[in-house]
Structure 1
Amino acid sequence: MQRYAAFLRGIMPTNPNMRNEKLRGVFEGLGFEKVSTLLSSGNVVFHAPGRDVPALESAIQQALNAELGIPGGTLIRTHAQLQALVDSDPFAGLTHCRETYLTVTFVRDAPKFVPEFPEGESTVRLVRFDPAVGALLTIIDNTDPSTTNFMAIVEKAWGKDITTRTYLTVQKALKKLGS
């Protein structure tokens, strides 16, 4: 069995069809084992026979849409990918806090370009794009209300088939998957 984390796009915990118990039910209905949700924002860890990740993403998304009416995207990362990301210590010396968000944006496809966040014009600082994980690593200055430019810039580069999590959430998903 392989260990995976699914990061779902467009989950709103206030929608009864998007609650954790229903999300777990869809994954269990697909035959996955050790299914567990993390927080209430569309993070699901599970074990499944080693399969092609795009096929897993497609099967999960089809089931979420058919059973719960969830049209958003499903992006999966393996335990090994998340472990490599955390082991690389991409935010060395920094702490995620209310004023400074350390973020990981998972993307489906290789970027056409890596977005630029010009210093002085943006409240976002690019750390790097990690092609092995398919993730853009950024630091967001939340003390400035103009941080809303982040998603517009990222979606211009990758489209809407992406999802962003805090680095803390990624670390928690990895911990839940076990070592």
Structure 2
Amino acid sequence: MTRYAALLRGIMPSNPSMRNERLREVFEGLGLEQVGSVLASGNIVFTAEEQPASALEDRIQAGLKDGLGIAGGTIVRELAELRALLDSDPFPGLTHGRGTYLTATFLKDGALGEGAEPPRPPEQPDPLARVVGYDAQARAFLAVVDNSVPGRTPDLMTWLERSYGTDITTRTWLTVQRIVKKLEA
């Protein structure tokens, strides 16, 4: 058995169909075990037989659509991939805060196309957003965003969607840490 995290795209906790207890019910109905949620923004941890992430993504997405009418995307990562990402310390010396908002944008398996080389960090989309790298194992762009300028919100997510499509989802570094902690509990 393997521990996994499902990172769900487009979850709005104010929508009754998207609350954690409803999301967990779908996962349990799919026969997944040790199902838990992390925060109220579409982060579900679970245990399943080891299998390709893409198979789990398709199965979970079909269950969410059939059970709750949620058509957003599902991205799955194994605990080992997320643990290795944390252990790589991609933000050395930085602490998550308004001026250094640390993010990881995960790409869905296959989003780059079959046999595609892992992407290099793209040209910087905004002076307040700096992509610091790409982790091939976790299939994630890592970025530092400066949210401290009043009236100015860097729009890194829109830029990444234009560059790589909508089969992506972004989490703060703190959320990634919380997900790993829950997976290891």
TM over 0.5: yes
Q: Give the TM-score of the pair, scaled to structure 1.
A: 0.93
**Segment of structure 1 superposing worse, 134-143 or 103-112:** 103-112
- SS of alignment partner, residue 44 of structure 2: strand
Pick aligned residue for 2:147 from 142, 147, 166: 142
Pick aligned residue for 1:130 from 124, 132, 135: 135
- SS of alignment partner, residue 27 of structure 1: helix
- SS of alignment partner, residue 147 of structure 1: coil
Q: Contact 2:120/2:134 (CA < 8 Å) preserved in 1? A: no
Offset of 1:98 from its aligned partner? 3.0
Taking only aligned residues, the RMSD between alpha carbons, in angstroms, comes to: 1.5
- Look up the match of 1:178: 184
Distance 2:156 2:77 in 1: 22
Distance 2:123 2:147 in 1: 18
Q: Contact 1:124/1:138 (CA < 8 Å) preserved in 2? A: yes
Pick aligned residue for 2:165 from 152, 159, 162: 159
- Look up the match of 1:79: 79
Distance 1:136 1:95 in 2: 18
Q: Contact 2:147/2:154 (CA < 8 Å) preserved in 1? A: no
Unaligned runs of 5+ in 1: none
Structure 1 residues 27 and 172 mapped into 2: Cα distance closer, same or farther (>3 Å)?
same
Amino acid at match of 1:79: L
Amino acid at match of 1:117: Q
Distance 1:33 1:112 in 2: 34
**Segment of structure 1 superposing worse, 68-77 or 93-102:** 93-102
Regions of 4+ moved over 2 Å:
109-115, 144-149
Q: Contact 2:119/2:134 (CA < 8 Å) preserved in 1? A: no
Q: Contact 1:7/1:75 (CA < 8 Å) preserved in 2? A: yes
Q: Give the TM-score of the pair, scaled to structure 2.
A: 0.91
Offset of 1:113 from its aligned partner? 6.1
Q: Contact 1:7/1:163 (CA < 8 Å) preserved in 2? A: yes
- Look up the match of 1:35: 35
Aligned length: 177
- SS of alignment partner, residue 85 of structure 1: helix
Identity of aligned residues (%): 54
